[in-house]
Structure 1
Amino acid sequence: MEPFSFATSDTLDFPVSIRIINLEGAEPPLRYSTLLDHPELRHIGSNQSTHSDLYVTVQVWAGSKPLTVPVQTAYKAFRNERRWNEWLTLPITYSALPQNARLAITIWDLSPLPAEGAQGNAVPFGGTTLPLFDKDNQLHKGRQKCHVYRHRKADGNDDTKTPAFLPKKRARKGVLEDKEAEELDRMEKLFKKHEMGEIPRVDWLDQLVFRGFEKRGLQSARSSLKLAQRAQLAQDSGPTKPQDPNAPPEPSNYMLNVELPRFDFPVVFADHEYPPPPISSLQPLSSSQSNVILKPPPEVHFGPGISPEQEEDEDSSEEGYTGRLIRVYDPEVAARDNPAESKHRRLVRSQHRNGMLDKDLKPNAKVRDELNTIMAYSPTHVLTPEEKDLVWKFRHHLTRNKKALTKFAKSVNWQDASEARQAVQLLGKWTDIDVDDALELLGPTFDNPALRAFAVERLRKADDEELLLYLLQLVQALKYEHILPKGREGQGQQGQGQEGTAATASSGAHDSSLARFLISRAVGSFTLGNYFWWYVMVECDDKSADQGPDNQAIYGKIAYDFMAELVRQPGGEEVRKTLKRQAEWIAILSRISGEIKESNESIAKRTERVKAFLADPRNELVNIDPPLPLPLDPSVQIVGVVPEETHVFKSSLHPIKVTFRTTTGKTYPILFKTGDDLRQDQLVIQIIALMDSLLKKENLDLKLLPYKILATSTSAGLTQFVHSMTLQAISSKYRANPALAYLKQNNPDPHGPLGLRREALDTFVRSCAGYCVITYILGVGDRHLDNLLLAPDGHFFHADFGYILGRDPKPFAPAMKLCKEMVDAMGGSSSEHYKKFKEYCFLAYSALRKNSNLILNLFSLMANANIPDIKLEPDKAALKVKERFHLEMSEEDSIRHLERIMDDNLNALVPVVIDKLHELVQAFRA
């Protein structure tokens, strides 16, 4: 077979278009006797003039149903011929076309009187249906001559009665023989080949042929008109035969010339491949059940214009039509591996498994580029079988590339014992990998213990400060570890005393390299141990149906192993007592918070009630001796409460502001809230803190200073209270440029820019840029002036992260919250400070895109964390963040895209309306 270059229709993202050229042909005028019998016919335009005004509509049909609205030509007055010469663009692309797509083309005439098939004052002059794909599934292109069926609309059905192309036998049947017409048809086909470049061009000879063909065409038109007149006279003089209303219409002498777009290569139909439906949970029939007589197949009802039976005329037999093919999905096929693909994979891998030459195998320049492309894939990208085979083939060469390990792990068939053994042996030769790759190996995709242990070894090199940034996700990764069920680890070890019991309890965690690592680091650092303990306690407290008893058993066992290991360390008993005191302290605050939330008292009475409770010595909060490390921030040790600075906020959950005295003589205010799951806010704050650390490594300090949040259970938690005001409150207090007025009041400097201290303005500009970019990447929603806060020193920050990953309760919400109050405080959109703000945004976005793999892996580890906006679509959480990074774009294009988002949001009216509506709602509630 000769090489055949072609393109597939599913890749052709180009709108369907057609050029309506002209209408050829003529017919004898109506006799006066006919006009006397039917006087309404004299008012139709085509009966008054042979060049009357007509217009054409085109509509895409498939499956006997319209796919688009009709598109029509513009008005055009005709003189000598009906020629439109107009391109029409249809609202559908070639990639969206099904194989049975066709164009229903109708020519419309005008009549002031109602008639059959009329639409208003438009009556059908004629119609034709043009299929877009031929019998070889190739797209039609170039000029097409379409038969016109008089006084009929194009139906567009699958078994259309107005086909543009007729079989040869049907074209001859019932029509007087015309050798000249046959010759013209042959010449038309040759002209089409010449137009498509299939016949060489000779200019002087082509001109002669064109002139001769034009004269011959005019002569043929006259002769065909005479033949039609003779046929009409013969029919009138002979006996009249009754017409069958169900008989198919005959084509007229009119032909509509149209032109379809031309492409450099043939376009072959290719359907979009959808993923298979989910596998059925039904078990296959047993041998005894398979003998049971099955029910008859269900009856299939076909739509209009679709006939399941083969037509019995001689033309349909020539086209080879054999009825409609219905494909049925078999779930048993998808439940098993494709034997051909499995055999192919084994053959390919066997060539590069034990060969000595594989160790010295190096890729050429082309293969090296392919490997570099694979290495640049994001963690969410799924490798194709060909890419997996390529990575496996050059696995020894890739051991020097630290970014290649995760791709190599994805290319290994870990179910194959021999292949898994080869892969584990190769891990020892691999170069050191980065933390983001180690976190990816701890996700739910990889369950090989040796591979996960290799990732844990990389984490051992991280210091406590870096490990704290990922601790929340590492605790979640324990769900994917192989940990023995509770009760099996202590068998055969009774009666060995306290040390023997602790050693036995820890042996259960030895089944998990990650659990051993986290426990060992947590007992060595009180800060890590504090957060590790509370993260584990929250998982133990989660009794929702999404987690189940197995999850609680796993974390209950880890908590027991942590305490047992802690007791064995020097001073571990004191740390254990400290963690217990923290739990008691949380229980005391939870009790008063629950009582306040359920009471129906006023805010003043609730506040006084909380003050009296905190000042009561029996609750042991006035004086805390010895000092207690604050669970929210273990570096802060509290020695007592300050009851007079207590406040209860007016909201549905009534959070309590409690202020504590610290060992340094300062105060530390916190917010304690019950009835709300703070794990989503805790995740967002943790990601903001991580991004702040990543930006500082790029020497970009955006003054973020995110406040701290700690969930102590699934319905309670602590939040650091930062002295600040919402932009809504600032706008109510200061009318003209409120944010700038607020900053001037707290940071006055007549000689500084905009009348305030340079440091305060710089802090404001930097923090605005940082939070704008970060909240855009995380898809934080429900942004209004009440959750945008400004501290007196110029720090701007966001609060209340109840909607993330693109969710928003308000319609048409902007992708980035950049309000007018923020820009006005910088001096306006044309000021130097706003330009600096945009530069900070671009630098921050570029820096975070470089670390996108780390952020995506952290969200992948949180897939099963029972966080509201993640559990809606757990498998798409990382993909939603990936969309905001626009990794498919270059750095320059991504920055340009971010700038468009900022400009559109700044000039949009919807955010202003949302803020005003929110202000009105809050005022009504007050």
Structure 2
Amino acid sequence: MAPHIEPFSFVTSDMIKFPLSVRILSLEGNEPTIPFSNLIDHLDQKHTGSNQSSHSDLYVKAQVWAGSKPLTVPVQTAYKPFRAERKWNEWLTLPIDYSTLPQNARLALTVWDVSPIREKGSEAHAIPFGGTTLPLFDKDNQLYRGRQKCHIYRHIAADGNDDTKTPAFLDKKRSKASTPVDKEIEEFDRVERIFKKHEMGEVPRVDWLDQLLFRAVEKQGLQDARSSSRKTHQEKTAQTVSSGAEQGAKATEPLPSRFALNVELPKFDFPVVFTDYEYPPPPISSLQHLSSSQSNIVLKPPPEVHFGPGINGVDDDEGYGGPLIRCYDPEVGARDNPAESKHRRLVRSQHRNGILDKDLKPNSKVRDELNLIMSYSPTHTLSPEEKDLIWKFRYHLTRYKKALTKFVKSVNWQDQSESKQAVQVLGKWTDIDVDDALELLGPTFDNQAVRSFAVERLRKADNNELLLYLLQLVQALKYERISPQSDHEVAQDSSLARFLISRAADSFTLGNYFWWYVMVECDDKTQDQEQDNQAIYHKIAYDFMTELVKRPDGKETRKTLLRQAEWIAILSKISGEIKESNESIAKRTERVKQFLADPKNELVTIDPPLPLPLDPSVEIIGVAPEDTVVFKSSLHPIKVAFKTTAGRKYPVLFKTGDDLRQDQLVIQIITLMDNLLQKENLDLKLSPYKILATSTTAGLSQFVPSMSFQGISSKFRNNPALAYLKQNNPDSHGPLGLRKETLDTFVKSCAGYCVITYILGVGDRHLDNLLLAPDGHFFHADFGYILGRDPKPFAPAMKLSKEMVDCMGGSNSEHYRQFKQYCFLAYSALRKNSNLILNLFSLMVDANIPDIKLEPDKAVFKVKDRFHLELSEEDAIRALERIMDDNLNALVPVVIDKLHEFVQHFRA
């Protein structure tokens, strides 16, 4: 029969989120008064308050120490005059929570006296009366509670060290050996301990019995006996104290005096047991949680480590001095625990042949676990137990498309037998979605069979769908095993390269964008771009041109792409000259018009028609110099209008000196999100204009006729956005005096862009980059800050300006309520496709996008945090609504807009 164990209730210290506090009660004890003759001989002692009166004014300082170092600043009691006894009865709150206290934390308590003469160890005119060091946790790792009597060590401050010379509690064995035991004092101490337990509730309370005990203690007069014993002890040591005062000598080993400081620590309902917070290990490299399939990936150097004071140098008895040497062990960040690896091999050896595994089916509990694993986001790291579970039921999971990426992560690709069987299982898997295929092409999967499996899924996508992910697929070529030195074609090294070249050669639209995406990578000569990558993209471009020649119309396509490059070079020349000149805007504009009208530049007439690199579906036949505009900004972008074969003009904004790849990425993601919303039958009237980076310092942008909210506000005073739309779309019978279609377009486009820019963390939002087209289409421009970055302090998470809400009729209008409903619908629809968006960002980690490059290992997590995937759909929508309401009622965005308006007006 098992022994009966009493239940024990306790609380762990990491759960107490309250600051540490201590109550300074009183100073107990006395000592012989120093004779007046001694004070005359030693004038430095004459002005010390405690040498003149046994009730002089003192104050107490408390400070938390750990590891022989202070953790907090000292906190002291307020001034209080004493008459008969020294009692403070004051609570001190220290600036540290119980949850953050280490196990060796201790409270250094020093009683300070005042003296006009500075002595050694004094602080200005304060000299230590005595000190004591109180540990906060006992030998059983329980937090001390209630009243504590701390021995005072005279004339020295509490040191607070781990091997303190001023311990609050004396070692019983040492004290008994050094001093004779007084039976009465020992009995009183025992009764006092019982009283303390009674006070803490550790002794059951029986009122009639308690009263009998209290009266018995009073009759015995133990307190008087203790006082008498102390008096005797004082007389024995008076001579020693007196002579010590005369000589001013101090013992090397401080001894406890006859003073004791009574303090009180907070009382909790349950014992508090120390529990340390387990911090995650610091990342050794930016590639965290690497799988066994990533052993060939070269780890990046460890992050810079800054040591604290006293740790930079090591001085020991062995003679080793100087700075610490940091050794980087790549196995710590990239290898599994050897014991766990062996355990995993033993477990999987039971399921290696797979003969019995084909018939294994999970029970209801295991099925729930597998469903939970399949719901994990791409950034989630599988535990060894989860990997073993997936491997065990791998044949059962082949019918679930969402389980494939988790299965690939669970395979030990270094084990030849296991990897061979995993490839066989891949062949039996059901068709997967495109988002999972994109994940398999990311930097964490290097197995050729896995990447080929993902490419086979992409073959089923049509050109329009493939165009949505083409930017990321070009970046995924960096993770292929392509050798830049080999003479054979890249198609022999990479199934992805072979697929992209083949599809780009078959479609001019795909080929156009593929060519320019590759050209930008070839042009990237920054330090962040590896030289091998440049050589690889040069090789891909050459093989693409070679493949074009093999097609029936390939030679014409090749000539067209070369003509586009010449056309870009001509525009770059004039743009660079305009940017560097010191002329006025009018003269610069006139100069550009003359350049464009010059027949030598072959822009007035373009024959045969040239597909526009920005939009290959548009063919241009010449330029319209009269529509040229040079904008007043630091880079002086040029707006050029081109005549098209459709008889219209296509305005293009050409800019040099700026890297447009980040803007290009944002526009691509907005276009993708618009496509996803359309599939959910949610048309939010988004109008993402086109952007194409033609190099790392130049690019094209579609110019959409519109007006900024800043310009509208300067033109119309009251409800400017509504006045602007009324001017262009008046309808006296429509809502708010507008055409219904116009107001509907405005409300929907506002909702779409508010949600999308929130998810992408677009920053630096002001009235100059919020644009409104005459037909009611609202959109954002200038995406120089994304992923939560913002140059302005206290920037809102979502840009919802007062001008936008007023145009809807105010925050209490039906149109604003409809706006919020559109926001919720859009947010829910995009959350369903969060895996696709996260995988697209993970493929852009090494794309030299400025705001991704700052923290590449956190970029995907920043987007993930905006989706609130840890919340249910209902809670996530509530969180989004709180963000919208906080932004609408916030004063800071209004102030920022006014400051921005003032700065822009001052510059003008």
Same fold? TM cut 0.5: yes
Q: Aligned residue for 2:434?
A: 435
1:274 matches 2:281: yes
> In structure 2, what is the equivalent of residue 14 of structure 1?
17
| Aligned counterparts, 1:199-278, within 5 A | 201=204, 203=206, 207=210, 211=214, 215=218, 219-236=221-238, 240=243, 243-260=249-266, 262=268, 263=270, 266-269=273-276, 272-275=279-282, 277=284
Q: What secondary structure is seen at the aligned counterpart in 2 of 1:658? A: strand
Q: Secondary structure, in 3 states, of the residue corresponding to 1:817?
A: coil
Q: Distance in 1 between matches of 2:505 and 2:9?
A: 65
- 3-state secondary structure, aligned to 1:808: coil
Name the counterpart of 2:320: none
Q: How many angstroms does 1:440 deviate by? A: 0.8
**Structure 1 residues 773 and 330, CA gap change in structure 2 (3 angstroms):** same
Q: Deviations over 1:212-235 (max 9, x none)?
A: 68648x943332222222222344
Q: Does 1:525 align with 2:518?
A: no
Letter in 1 for 2:378: P
Report deviation, 1:861.
0.3
Write the letter of the residue equivalent to 1:462. A
User: Residues 459-480 of structure 1: CA distance to partner in whole angstroms, max 9, x if unpaired?
Assistant: 2222222221111001100111
Of 621, 624, 628, 1:646 maps to 628
Q: Structure 2: how far apart are the matches of 1:165 and 1:409?
A: 60
**Contact 1:769/1:838, CA 8 A, preserved across alignment:** yes
Which residue is equivalent to 2:163?
Answer: 159
Secondary structure class of the residue paired with 2:496: helix
Match of 1:711 in 2: 693
Alpha-carbon distance between aligned partners in 2 of 1:33 and 1:483, rounded to the nearest angstrom:
95
1:448 aligns with 2:447: yes
Q: Is the 8 A contact 1:708 1:719 kept in 2?
A: yes
Check if 1:63 corresponds to 2:45. Answer: no
Q: Relative to 1, partners in 2 of residues 1:608 and 1:337: Cα closer, same or farther, differing over 3 Å?
A: same
| 1:599 maps onto 2:581 in alignment | yes
CA distance in 2, matches of 1:435, 1:209: 83
What does 1:299-310 align with in structure 2 at a 5 Å threshold?
A: none
For residues 159-187 of structure 1, the C-alpha deviation after alignment (integer angstroms, 9 at most, x for no partner) is 32321222113433655533233334445
- Counterpart CA distance in 1 for 2:346 and 2:144 is 42
Q: Distance in 1 between matches of 2:12 and 2:316?
A: 27
Distance 2:874 2:83 in 1: 55
Q: Tell me, yes or no, if the aligned pair for 1:486 and 1:557 is still in contact at 8 Å.
A: no
Partners of 2:20 and 2:97 within 8 A in 1 = no
Residues 1:49 and 1:405: Cα distance change in structure 2 (over 3 Å): same
Aligned with 1:97 (options 97, 101, 118): 101
CA 1:421–1:823: 2 relative to 1, 3 Å:
same
d(CA) in 2 for partners of 1:532, 1:858: 17
Distance 1:778 1:562 in 2: 33
* Residue in structure 2 matching 1:559, options 537, 541, 550: 541
Cα distance in 2 between the residues matched to 1:128 and 1:577: 88
Aligned pair in 2 of structure 1 residues 412, 202: CA closer, same or farther (>3 Å)? Answer: same
Separation in structure 1 between the aligned mates of residue 278 and residue 226 of structure 2, nearest angstrom: 44
For 1:502, the equivalent position in structure 2 comes to: none
The equivalent residue for 1:571 is 553
CA-to-partner distance for each residue in 1:343-381, whole Å, 9 max, x for gaps?
223223223322533333344454444434433332122
Preserved CA contact (<8 Å) 1:522 1:528? yes
1:805 aligns with: 787
Match of 1:130 among 129, 134, 145: 134
CA distance in 2, matches of 1:7, 1:799: 57
Between 1:442-451 and 1:807-816, the stretch displaced more is 807-816
Q: Distance in 1 between matches of 2:88 and 2:397?
A: 63
SS in 2 for 1:555: helix
For residues 464-513 of structure 1, the C-alpha deviation after alignment (integer angstroms, 9 at most, x for no partner) is 22221111001100111122435521xxxxxxxxxxxxxxx5xx313312
Aligned to 1:619: 601
Match for 1:411: what amino acid? S
Distance apart, 1:596 and its partner CA: 2.3
Aligned twin of 1:844: 826
* CA–CA distance in structure 1, aligned partners of residues 11 and 497 of structure 2: 52
Q: Spell out, residue by residue over 1:394-428, the C-alpha distance to the aligned partner (whole angstroms, 9 max, x if none).
A: 33333333222212212222122112112111112
Q: Please say which of residues 562-571 and 205-214 is displaced more in the overlay.
A: 205-214
Aligned pair 1:769/2:735, yes or no? no
Q: Does 1:590 find its partner at 2:569?
A: no
* Gap change, CA 1:786 and 1:104, over 3 Å in 2: same
> What SS is found at the alignment partner of 1:159?
coil
- Alignment size in residue pairs: 868
Deviation at 1:8, TM superposition (A): 10
Which residue in 1 is equivalent to 2:858?
876
Shift, 1:14, TM fit:
2.3
The structure 2 residue matched to 1:693, chosen from 666, 675, 685, is 675
Counterpart amino acid of residue 361 in structure 1: L
Residues 544 and 234 from structure 1, CA distance in 2 versus in 1: closer, same or farther, beyond 3 angstroms? closer
Per the alignment, residue 182 of structure 1 pairs with: 186
Whether the 8 Å contact between 2:103 and 2:274 is mirrored in structure 1 is no
Find the counterpart in structure 2 of residue 488 from structure 1.
487
CA shift in 2, pair 1:278/1:604, >3 Å:
closer
Q: Report the AA paired with residue 68 of structure 2.
A: S
- Secondary structure at the residue paired with 1:128? strand
Q: 2:468 corresponds to which residue?
A: 469
TM-superposed CA distance for 1:734, in Å, is 2.0
CA shift at 1:864, angstroms? 0.9
Contact 1:7 1:268 in 2 (8 A): no
SS at match of 1:875: coil
The answer for the alignment partner of 2:836 in structure 1 is: 854
How has the CA–CA distance of structure 1 residues 401 and 125 changed in structure 2, closer, same or farther, with 3 Å as cutoff?
Answer: farther
Q: Give the alignment's Cα RMSD to 1 decimal.
A: 3.9
Does the 8 A contact of 1:24 with 1:257 survive in 2? no
| Superposed displacement of residue 912, structure 1 | 3.2
Paired residue for 1:637?
619
Partner Cα distance (1:114, 1:910) in 2: 54
Query: Aligned equivalents of 2:698 and 2:646: distance in 1?
Result: 28
The residue type equivalent to 2:558 in the other structure is R
Which residue pairs with 1:322 in the alignment?
Answer: none
Any conservation in 2 of the 1:143–1:258 contact (CA below 8 Å)?
yes
How far off its partner does 1:718 sit?
A: 0.9
CA deviation after TM superposition for structure 1 residue 683, in Å: 0.4
Output the CA distance in 2 between the equivalents of 1:46 and 1:751. 95
- Residue equivalent to 2:289: none
Change (3 A) 1:800 1:475: same
Q: Closer, same or farther in 2 for the Cα pair 1:662/1:7, shift >3 Å? A: farther
Q: For residues 449 and 142 of structure 1, do their structure 2 counterparts lie closer, same or farther at Cα, with a shift above 3 Å needed?
A: farther
Question: What is the deviation of 1:452?
Answer: 0.8
2:110–2:130 Cα contact (<8 Å) kept = yes
What letter corresponds to residue 768 of structure 1 in structure 2? C
In the alignment, the residues of structure 2 paired with residue 652 and residue 790 of structure 1 have an alpha-carbon distance, to the nearest angstrom, of 24
Change (3 A) 1:807 1:143: same
Matched, 1:535 2:517: yes
Provide Cα deviations, 1:220-271, integer angstroms capped at 9, x if missing partner. 3332222222222344468946553534141434242423564567334466
SS at match of 2:500: helix
Q: 1:244 to 1:463 in 2, by over 3 A?
A: same
In 2 relative to 1, CA 756–625 (structure 1 residues): closer, same or farther, beyond 3 Å? same
Give 5+ residue unaligned stretches, structure 2: 287-307, 318-322
Superposition deviation, residue 384 in structure 1: 2.9
Residues 332, 822 of structure 1: CA spacing in aligned structure 2 closer, same or farther, 3 A cutoff?
A: closer
SS in 2 for 1:786: coil
TM-score by length of 1: 0.84
Distance, in Å, in 2 between the alignment partners of 1:424 and 1:557 is 30
Moved more, 639-648 or 182-191: 182-191
| Unpaired runs of at least 5, structure 1 | 280-299, 310-325, 490-504
Aligned pairs (5 A) from 1:782-801:
782-801=764-783
Residues 148 and 256, structure 1, Cα contact 8 Å, conserved in 2: no
Tell me, what secondary structure is at the counterpart of 2:768? Answer: helix
Contact 2:149–2:260 (CA under 8 A) maintained in structure 1:
no
Contact 1:863 1:870 in 2 (8 A): yes
Query: Aligned letter for 1:607?
Result: T
CA distance in 2, matches of 1:188, 1:276: 53
For 2:707, the equivalent position in structure 1 comes to 725
